[in-house]
């Protein structure tokens, strides 16, 4: 299982140690945590996307069964994971599953039109001004790097989309799951009422994190065993 951390493309893999350690202990799979290049004025978001794909592509070189691989991304990392799943299909790599937690998959101007962006614009973990800042710094071609607007979402690995309801990007996850289903890709959505963005990294502060962990582990076990 290849995991890509969140953090607005400037976070760190260490923030996801809690979920990754639990997955490693409970799912019969190697867990690879990707520390991709971070966005800066000279490093575009596409570098992080390329790093995530490069790790996924090279798993077979490390003795990992290429027919038994999943991707897992949180927030900005879910954009990387979703893009990697599309590239995997186009390259003939058959993924078993993809897990997308509070995914940010729309970096276009239209992202600000989602109702959740207005309803939770000042949420405690992520605000709309922060999203706008990350977008300006990270992206030059918003549409081409937004999985929500990919031309073809058919024949992708089954997806689990985990949505905390009190999150500006909650509707991005819901809408992406809907687009996957419309394309014939299996997509399961689980919602966690009252949970904020990035709640999976806050198990001692947000009790919903533990329920989400159980969902994720059960999903991965079903698809990787």
Residue 137 predicted with pLDDT over 80: no
- CB burial class (10 A; 0-12, 13-18, 19+) of residue 13? middle
> Model confidence at 144, in pLDDT bands (50, 70, 90)?
low
What average pLDDT does range 25-43 have in this prediction? 89
How many domains is the chain built from?
A: 1
pLDDT: is 134 or 96 the higher one? Answer: 96
For residue 73, what is the domain's CATH number? Answer: 3.40.50.1820
Domain that holds residue 128: 2-224
**pLDDT band of 135, cuts 50, 70, 90:** confident
Tell which residue, 55, 44, 39, 83, has the closest CA to residue 176.
Answer: 83
Query: In what order do the strands lie in the sheet containing 187-196?
Result: 32-34, 2-4, 70-74, 97-101, 159-166, 187-196
Surface-to-core class of residue 145, CB atoms within 10 Å of its CB (0-12 exposed, 13-18 middle, 19+ buried): buried
Number of neighbours of residue 56 by Cβ within 10 angstroms: 26
Question: 151-182, pLDDT tens digit by residue?
Answer: 999 999 999 999 999 999 999 999 999 999 99
Q: What is the pLDDT of residue 143?
A: 52
Interatomic CA distance for residues 207 and 53, integer angstroms: 32
Average pLDDT over residues 192-200: 96
Higher local confidence (pLDDT), 44 or 200: 200
Mean pLDDT rounded to a whole number for the chain: 92
What does the pLDDT look like over 57-98, one tens digit per residue?
888 788 889 889 999 999 999 999 999 999 999 999 999 999
B/e letters for 57-66, b = 16+ CB within 10 Å, e = fewer, are bebeeeebee
Mean pLDDT of 28-32: 94
Q: CA 189 to CA 160: how far, in whole Å?
A: 6
> Residue 45 — very low, low, confident or very high, per pLDDT cuts 50/70/90?
confident
Alpha-carbon distance of 151 to 120, in angstroms, equals 29
pLDDT for 41 beyond 90: no
Provide the pLDDT for residue 38. 84
């Amino acid at each position: 299982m290849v995991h890509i951390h969140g953090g607005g493309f400037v976070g760190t893999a260490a923030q996801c140690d809690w979920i990754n350690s639990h997955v490693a202990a409970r799912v019969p799979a190697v867990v690879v945590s990707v520390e991709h290049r971070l966005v800066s004025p000279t490093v575009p978001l596409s570098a992080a996307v390329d790093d995530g794909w490069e790790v996924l592509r090279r798993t077979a070189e490390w003795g990992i069964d290429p027919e038994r691989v999943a991707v897992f991304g949180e927030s900005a990392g879910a954009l990387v994971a979703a893009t990697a799943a599309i590239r995997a299909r186009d390259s003939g790599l058959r993924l078993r599953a993809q897990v997308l937690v509070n995914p940010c998959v729309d970096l276009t101007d239209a992202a600000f039109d989602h109702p959740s962006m207005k309803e939770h614009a000042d949420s405690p973990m992520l605000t709309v001004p922060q999203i706008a800042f990350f977008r300006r710094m990270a992206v030059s071609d918003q549409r081409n790097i937004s999985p929500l607007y990919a031309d073809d979402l058919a024949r992708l690995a089954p997806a689990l989309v985990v949505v905390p309801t009190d999150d500006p990007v909650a509707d991005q996850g819901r809408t992406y799951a809907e687009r996957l289903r419309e394309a014939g890709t299996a997509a399961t959505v689980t919602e966690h009422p009252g949970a904020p963005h990035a709640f999976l990294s806050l198990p001692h502060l947000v009790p919903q994190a533990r329920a989400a962990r159980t969902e994720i582990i059960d999903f991965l076990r079903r698809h990787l065993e």
